[in-house]
Chain A
Amino acid sequence: MSEPLVSIHDLTVAYERHPAVHHVSGSFAKGSLTAVIGSNGAGKSTLIKSIVGLLTPADGKIELHGLKAKDAAFLPQSVAIDDSFPISVMDVVLMGLWRQVGAFRAIGKRERWLALEALSLVGLEDFESRSFGSLSAGQRQRVLFARLVAADSPLILLDEPFTALDARTTLDLLRLVTRWHDEGRTVIAVLHDFEQVRRFFPDSLLLARQVIAWGPTEQVLTADNLLKARAMSEGWDEAAEICLGIGE
């Protein structure tokens, strides 16, 4: 495997002492495009939130090579965002430049130009002064992708980016993800649609609180592995008793 960008060492993350991610080890190679899959509660979101530094591991550690957690560009699940908030499309995209401008530095011509470029890349030219809340769900997700473009980060993490989007929007945004991959960025996305994963994602990580399989997608998405993942999530409650001392 090539040089890793994110290495995970025996990671356990727990909510109220119940581990959501359990003894996960492995690494995301620099420039890789990986889908994280698994059933609800399999720890997919937990894993990527931990990589961004939003959750503190109960055990083990996450190592980022050559960048800090806050340098990663992260797209939260859409439910985490207040879509009735009175904010313009421009301001949402400019948020992506937080690493450069932070809380206080001025936003000038260059920043606005970068934001407009990002908007045109997601197919939303002339949308900059529209109110975010007045857009359709698909357009809102395009704006949030433009925010990721503006962030210009080597590591991009997406938490269920295509949930409840129509086919056209999904395809456009998947093309953007592929473009990021071609540009050499490392992309990690939590996904549900296996068809999408097979078509667009060279690598996959199948989670059921622990790693079931991690590697090239065709070797991960096998009937055998999926069955194993399902059995793992169902049999979890009994298994939880065995691992003592986590997060206590």
Chain B
Amino acid sequence: MSSFYDLLIGPFADFAFMKRGLVACLALALGSGPVGVFLVLRRMSLIGDTMAHSVLPGAAVGFMLAGLSLPAMGLGGFIAGITVALISGLVSRYTTQKEDASFAAFFMISLALGVLLVSTHGSTVDLMHVLFGTILAVDDAALLLMASVASVSLLLFAVIYRPLVAECFDPMFLRSVGGRGGVVHTLFLVLVVLNMVSGFQALGTLMAVGLMMLPAVAARFWVRQVWSLAGLSICIAFASGYAGLVLSYRFNLPSGPAIVLTAGGFYVASLLLGGNGGLLTGRARRRHLAR
């Protein structure tokens, strides 16, 4: 009994950094879960990835000006991410180039600029920190930022939920009834960037998107409504965060990859066993029909 306690609860009771890490995971899950669901529904799964990388030069500038301070790096990252998102959006609107192509172009420019800035003005350790993050070094200021992002995200989702769903399902219909699809799309992109910024302190720019996408695509194998997808995705993200922290403590693993790999485990399990089109359950149904 006591070994269960030592394994599953003890670390969080004994160490403030584990406690903070867990709260950070909850905040990240609340914001990133719904964002990931809508990224998948808008077929922007990979755009999420490119957005995460484009945050880098802004974070680097923030780091150069203010040192290892999350608010400064976060603000820089937010500005860089939003700039890339808006420029790509404009390019796809005014030229024949599709949004994913212009996103890819601007994110590469942004990423290269970021790496250049970090490597000329910081050490490799700093670059590693920005790329991979350290959830166990989250301080009060960072925690406050993550909690604020989560709150703002949930509130904004509540406000734009109906038009956002309509815009994903049938954009032409929404425009025909005078709905402001463009405004909703832009607000959604702001949410994506905000949650990226919130995630990169904990998981780094490379993997922040992991806690966004993996729970969302895993949830797709279980439920069939947007609200239930978002809810389940939050639960999977938080469970991944908790289990990842436990694993990282027990086996002395880096926390970021441990969390994202746990989320990956949830995805593979859902892929195989999910009640809504999972591979194994789907096969069982086919066999049943064949008889």
Chain A residues in the interface with B (C-beta under 8 A): 16, 49, 52-54, 68-70, 72, 74, 76, 80-82, 85-88, 91-92, 95, 98-99, 103-104, 131, 133-134, 147
Contacts and interface: CB of A to CB of B under 8 A. Distances in A.
A49 B173 CA distance: 11
A104 B226 contact: no
A54 B168 contact: no
Given A72-B176, A86-B41, A87-B165, A80 B170 contact: yes
Nearest to B225: A86
Given A85-B169, A99-B177, A103-B163, 9 more contacts: A16-B96, A49-B172, A69-B178, A70-B178, A76-B173, A82-B170, A86-B225, A91-B165, A104-B159
Given A87-B225, A103-B163, A82 B168 contact: yes
A74 B173 contact: yes
B93 interface: no
Contact of A95 (B173, B178, B224, B229): B173
Nearest to B42: A82
B168 A76 contact: no
Interface of B: 41, 96, 159-160, 162-163, 165-166, 168-179, 220, 223-226, 229
Question: Interface SS of chain B: helix, strand, loop or mixed?
Answer: helix
Contacts of B225: 86-88, 131
Contact of B229 (A76, A86, A92, A147): A86
A74 B165 contact: no
A94 B159 CA distance: 18
A96 B170 CA distance: 12
A85 B176 CA distance: 20
* In the A-B complex, the 7 residue pairs with the closest CB atoms: A70-B178, A76-B172, A74-B176, A98-B177, A52-B176, A85-B169, A131-B224
Most buried by A among B160, B163, B170, B179: B170
Nearest to A88: B225
Given A87-B165, A104-B162, A81 B179 contact: no
B277 to A, nearest CB: 10
Nearest to A77: B172
